[in-house]
Structure 1
Amino acid sequence: MSSSFTHGAGAVTRRTVTTSAALAAALLLTGGGRAAARPGAAAPAGGRTLRLPAPTGPHRIGHTTLYLVDPARRDPWEPALAVREVMATVWYPARAVHGHPVAPQMTAAAAALFGRIDAEIHHLPKSGVDWAATMTHAHIGAPAQAVRRPVLLYSPGGGDPRTLGTGVAEELASHGCVVVAVDHPGDAGEVAFPTARAGRGRVRPTVFRGDPRTSPETFRTAIGTRIADLRFVLDQLEVLADGGNPDAAGRPLPPDLGRALDLRRVGAYGHSAGGTTVAEAMYEDRRIGAAVDMEGYLDHPAPGPDRAGELFPVARHGVDRPLLLLETDGFPGRAELARSWAAMLAHPRGHTRRRRIDHAAHAVFTDYAALAPQLQAAGLMPPEDRVTLVGAIEPAVSVPLVRHHIRSFFARHLPGR
């Protein structure tokens, strides 16, 4: 895994949001599919098609999903489910891709629910977008390169699906990592399963009705469940690396996928609640050798006015492995975030580093960094909503910058053997 990276974007300058949106449509989104429409152009039948930024690495990318069932845990959000189910997407360097179709970002069923749930949460357009039409750059079921690769777990933000981390995952896979993005059902906005079962349909929506951090009990349950999910996924990856098939539906796996996993080199990165999750998971599980927390609190919500929330053990005691704290200058929760991050940084062994992206907002770490400017350019999102979501930073700057921070961190701390 190379540590070299050239993003070609100089110092971030404050420009108009309109200029940024035009650059997003004209410059950033390359790599196949229908061209981004001009602002004001008629939307295609079914709504406008948005495009994800192309990965920059030398490897073609394979794609598969894993349906994993943990019989040792009950689902914390749905009493009718006696087991805990987890869905994951695996991106990996492919040996060959001919004959393997390109994967959509979301299934049609998940996209339909996404267009309702996320439209409400993030002020996305309620019509005019075909969310199911966005394609990735990864090929379904392509055979993996039989070369042991670093394994990176991804935990998305609270209420977000794993599919909103596609751009970064593809970038990492194109540069020689295996990326496993984990959905946390009941928490994630929508999770599509291979089949329906008693207690849920084919697509399971989030139970959240607002910010889970406003409820200390909900937040504690969410983070505890997420950490257990990641540890369980690691257990199942060990089964896969040993030649087994952990998919609970028995679906066939891409050839040589298990041989692509180097579980001696495991990292984790997460956004918001996912950042909290990966930092604490690294503290609890020594299999995780490095982690990136993108604006995830490292304390529990305050139990009352003028009372500080309890720090997570990772912030109380520190870690002996590398942790990157990655933030924006536009996150509304920066003041609240500062307390637990300051505690993390105060530990004397110096394993934690902090970096900031300016002129950006909280969702710039997700695919919204590329998608929101396209929505604005098409007249489907007001400039102020785009700034609230991802900031005024140009996507031609933000996308490579976020990729660079994450990829260079893991290249340094999970080097090739």
Structure 2
Amino acid sequence: MTHSSAPGRRSFAKGALAGAAALFLTTAVTGSAAASGHGGAPLLRLPAPTGPYPVGARVLHLVDRSRNDPWDTGIGVRELMVTVLRPAVPARGFPRVPQLTPGAAAVFASLAHLVRPQLPATGVDWAATLTHARAGAPPLPGRRPALLYTPGGGDARTMGSSLAIDLASHGWTVITVDHPGDASEVEFPDARPERDRIRRTALRPDLDAATFRTMIDTRVADLRFVLDTLGLDRVGVYGHSAGGTAAAQALHEDRRIAAAANLEGYLDQLDGELLPVARRGTDRPLLLAGTDGFRDARLDRSWAALLAHGGPVVRRQLDHTHHWAFTDYAALVPQLEEAGLMTAAGRAAMVGPADPRVTVPTVRDLVRSFFTRHLAR
């Protein structure tokens, strides 16, 4: 990990490897491709959390009747699915939550190689991967500091499970938010005449400026609605890619957000117009974290505009990595390569060549230490 103004890769590797041993004593990120799931497909594993607490999960269906859905106005309301992850009381008998339910996995399998072209079109049992959260495990008593997670464009909240559960294992309440119509797939409790039980993404590869603007505006409104509905104040928000863009802009718009982490999201529109947070700066802590593989002139320009205002904004970079190293793909993609289902070039284009035993702990430590420093525990 390197600061934007700091030299070299040594600090990145040194800090990352310090946390790797504890992670891999319990769950290996690589070397697991020999295990097989349904039909001989590789059994993909997510890395275990490193905190002292077990984690419980609860799924909520939230309905905002004051807004219509921007991607399908026939629905008439804006619906969200969120997962609340909290430190739990140690208890037996609560099942581990799958990363994807069978229904969501079936839809994702049909979309994965379209949403992320480097992913295999066949050969993966996406329903077989389990998270390290337990469904129905009773939460520990007491109020916990809260974080909201908003995923990248075209991604569902489920692809941020590993980091969210790790944060919860260290004492945070983490709320992962889906943005239906934007996310690859979102599963609701039931079907309605206006929509299917599982909604597919409305995004297309040829994303235009108007669609991107709608996506970011909708995500910010979704996050603020979650704060309203759950009665949250003084929270942190973190997000990847378009989720990072939304997290930074939500920080600008809502004083209930005390700190935010933008994991490689642009701070401008597709037409080059800077977002208000980049034009005006922020008086609350904001982390800008990126990769050397994804960094480009547009990102540098929009981030530099914000950094020029000064204030509590810091930039960090992960070397030998690429854009999806901030997500569960950091652990899953190397396993797919090992199983012969992805090429080395495909892996590099998604998460970079760096060892996940370095990148996974680095991202976890970076996000956790940022919020620990800036949100009172």
**Structure 1 length normalisation: TM-score?**
0.83
Q: Quick one: which amino acid aligns to residue 269 of structure 1? A: Y
Q: Please, which of 126, 131, 138 is the counterpart of residue 143 of structure 1?
A: 138
Does residue 352 in structure 1 map to residue 321 in structure 2?
no
Q: Please, which of 174, 179, 184 is the counterpart of residue 179 of structure 1?
A: 174
| Counterpart-to-counterpart distance in 1, 2:339 and 2:108 | 19
| Counterpart-to-counterpart distance in 1, 2:10 and 2:357 | 11
Asked if 2 retains the 8 angstrom alpha-carbon contact of 1:102 and 1:135, the reply is: yes
Corresponding residue of 1:400? 361
Q: Please, which of 100, 109, 128 is the counterpart of residue 115 of structure 1?
A: 109
Asked if 2 retains the 8 angstrom alpha-carbon contact of 1:318 and 1:347, the reply is: yes
Asked if 1 retains the 8 angstrom alpha-carbon contact of 2:60 and 2:81, the reply is: yes
Corresponding residue of 1:328? 291
Cα gap change, 1:378 to 1:46, in 2 (>3 Å):
closer
| Counterpart-to-counterpart distance in 2, 1:50 and 1:29 | 17
Does residue 294 in structure 1 map to residue 257 in structure 2?
no
Cα gap change, 1:108 to 1:84, in 2 (>3 Å):
same
| Counterpart-to-counterpart distance in 2, 1:407 and 1:222 | 27
Q: Deviations over 1:123-150 (max 9, x none)?
A: 2112221100100111101111111111
Unpaired stretches in structure 2, ≥5 consecutive residues: 1-8, 14-19
Say which SS state the counterpart of residue 152 (structure 1) adopts: strand
Say which SS state the counterpart of residue 169 (structure 1) adopts: helix
Corresponding residue of 2:348? 387
Q: Please, which of 190, 194, 208 is the counterpart of residue 195 of structure 1?
A: 190
Q: Please, which of 17, 34, 37 is the counterpart of residue 33 of structure 2?
A: 37
Asked if 1 retains the 8 angstrom alpha-carbon contact of 2:83 and 2:176, the reply is: yes
Say which SS state the counterpart of residue 257 (structure 2) adopts: coil
Asked if 2 retains the 8 angstrom alpha-carbon contact of 1:157 and 1:273, the reply is: yes
Asked if 2 retains the 8 angstrom alpha-carbon contact of 1:29 and 1:54, the reply is: no
Structure 1 residue 178: Cα displacement: 0.5
Corresponding residue of 1:316? 279
Structure 1 residue 79: Cα displacement: 2.0
Asked if 2 retains the 8 angstrom alpha-carbon contact of 1:64 and 1:91, the reply is: yes
Asked if 2 retains the 8 angstrom alpha-carbon contact of 1:125 and 1:381, the reply is: yes
Structure 1 residue 112: Cα displacement: 0.8
Corresponding residue of 1:410? 371
Structure 1 segments of 4+ aligned residues over 6 angstroms from their partners: none
Q: Please, which of 156, 160, 167 is the counterpart of residue 165 of structure 1?
A: 160
Structure 1 residue 415: Cα displacement: 2.5
Asked if 2 retains the 8 angstrom alpha-carbon contact of 1:31 and 1:137, the reply is: no
Say which SS state the counterpart of residue 289 (structure 1) adopts: strand
| Counterpart-to-counterpart distance in 2, 1:411 and 1:211 | 39
| Counterpart-to-counterpart distance in 2, 1:265 and 1:96 | 28
Structure 1 residue 42: Cα displacement: 6.9
Asked if 1 retains the 8 angstrom alpha-carbon contact of 2:71 and 2:181, the reply is: yes
Structure 1 residue 377: Cα displacement: 0.7
Q: Please, which of 86, 95, 103 is the counterpart of residue 97 of structure 2?
A: 103
| Counterpart-to-counterpart distance in 1, 2:91 and 2:318 | 35
Q: Please, which of 209, 217, 221 is the counterpart of residue 228 of structure 1?
A: 221
Corresponding residue of 1:3? none
Asked if 1 retains the 8 angstrom alpha-carbon contact of 2:115 and 2:184, the reply is: no
**Structure 2 length normalisation: TM-score?**
0.91
Say which SS state the counterpart of residue 149 (structure 1) adopts: coil
Cα gap change, 1:69 to 1:43, in 2 (>3 Å):
closer
Corresponding residue of 2:69? 75
| Counterpart-to-counterpart distance in 1, 2:367 and 2:162 | 12
| Counterpart-to-counterpart distance in 2, 1:82 and 1:28 | 47
Spell out the pairing of 1:237-256 with structure 2 (5 A cutoff).
Answer: 237-238=230-231
Asked if 2 retains the 8 angstrom alpha-carbon contact of 1:29 and 1:52, the reply is: no
Q: Quick one: which amino acid aligns to residue 334 of structure 1? A: D
Q: How well do the aligned residues superpose, as a CA RMSD in angstroms?
A: 2.0
| Counterpart-to-counterpart distance in 1, 2:73 and 2:254 | 28
Cα gap change, 1:42 to 1:175, in 2 (>3 Å):
closer
Structure 1 residue 100: Cα displacement: 1.4
Corresponding residue of 1:340? 302
Say which SS state the counterpart of residue 338 (structure 1) adopts: helix
Q: Quick one: which amino acid aligns to residue 202 of structure 2? A: V
Structure 1 residue 236: Cα displacement: 1.2
| Counterpart-to-counterpart distance in 2, 1:394 and 1:169 | 20
Q: Quick one: which amino acid aligns to residue 406 of structure 1? A: V
Say which SS state the counterpart of residue 301 (structure 1) adopts: coil
How many residue pairs align between the two structures? 359
Cα gap change, 1:274 to 1:75, in 2 (>3 Å):
same
Q: Deviations over 1:2-23 (max 9, x none)?
A: xxxxxxx97557xxxxxxxxxx
Say which SS state the counterpart of residue 293 (structure 1) adopts: strand
Q: Quick one: which amino acid aligns to residue 133 of structure 1? A: A
Does residue 283 in structure 1 map to residue 256 in structure 2?
no
Structure 1 residue 339: Cα displacement: 1.0
Structure 1 residue 118: Cα displacement: 1.5
Cα gap change, 1:10 to 1:93, in 2 (>3 Å):
farther
Corresponding residue of 2:47? 53
Cα gap change, 1:217 to 1:387, in 2 (>3 Å):
same
Cα gap change, 1:90 to 1:392, in 2 (>3 Å):
same
Corresponding residue of 2:3? none
Percent identity of equivalent pairs: 57
Unpaired stretches in structure 1, ≥5 consecutive residues: 1-8, 14-23, 239-262, 303-308
